[in-house]
Amino acid sequence: SQTIHQWPATLVQPVGSPLSLECTVEGTSNPNLYWYRQAAGRGLQLLFYSVGIGQISSEVPQNLSASRPQDRQFILSSKKLLLSDSGFYLCAWSRLAGWPDTQYFGPGTRLTVL
Amino acid sequence: GENVEQHPSTLSVQEGDSAVIKCTYSDSASNYFPWYKQELGKGPQLIIDIRSNVGEKKDQRIAVTLNKTAKHFSLHITETQPEDSAVYFCAAGNQAGTALIFGKGTTLSVSS
């Protein structure tokens, strides 16, 4: 069966510090991968998606970036965090074939920028 | 692009009552409509989905209906229980899209 992992689970960072969140998927190959952000009490905002290694599409201009160094690894980064970057970050995957298909979400990372 | 509206934003029911959450979408090409349940501090979990070639789908106490002509779909929960309390999200997707478009969520509270 497929499993999606995210770490860390929680993170408190000062404004201006760098960020690296990691997501890995097990049990599948060539998945579509996604990063979402969810502000407190708000809906899901798609940040990035990837259909393959090194292929990243950005949905929202911001100070965040994403990379996919391996087939089942997706990384969200920032060089300098802003207060507005606080939120709940969710990684998700779906099967590449048979679009549109279900997206399966990871457990999330709670980021607080102080 | 696609836009998904979800109503109501909050819903309170008594245990045993039914709950209905409605969503409308704008892109007539959308053909996949999942519903997710998100408990506090956790990632959303798929609870049911429907494709455009089906008008209704049921799974025990949960059902989803789709009206492609009117471009709206609904989640129905019968015999609600306190453990149904969570935030529910609808979404829409299509062949040309790159990702699902989500509604803003409905906070369902079931009181015993």
Q: From chain A, pick out residues whose CB is under 8 angstroms from the CB of B49.
A: 102
Q: Which amino acid is at B32?
A: Y
Are A108 and B98 inside 8 Å of each other by CB? Answer: no
Chain A contact for B35 (CB, 8 A cutoff): no
* Residue in A53, A111, A54, A56 with CA at minimum distance from that of residue A85: A111
Q: From chain A, pick out residues whose CB is under 8 angstroms from the CB of B42.
A: 107-108
CA distance linking residue A24 with residue A40, whole number of Å: 24
Question: To the nearest whole angstrom, how far is the Cα of A18 from the nearest Cα of chain B?
Answer: 24
Token pair, residue A80, equals 């300098």
Query: Per residue in B45-84, pLDDT tens?
Result: 999 999 888 899 999 999 999 999 999 999 999 999 999 9
Are B43 and A107 inside 8 Å of each other by CB? Answer: yes
Question: What's the gap between Cα A79 and its chain centre?
Answer: 16
Query: Per residue in A10-54, pLDDT tens?
Result: 999 999 999 999 999 999 988 999 999 998 767 898 899 898 898
pLDDT of residue A4: 96
Query: Per residue in B80-110, pLDDT tens?
Result: 999 999 999 999 987 655 678 899 999 999 9
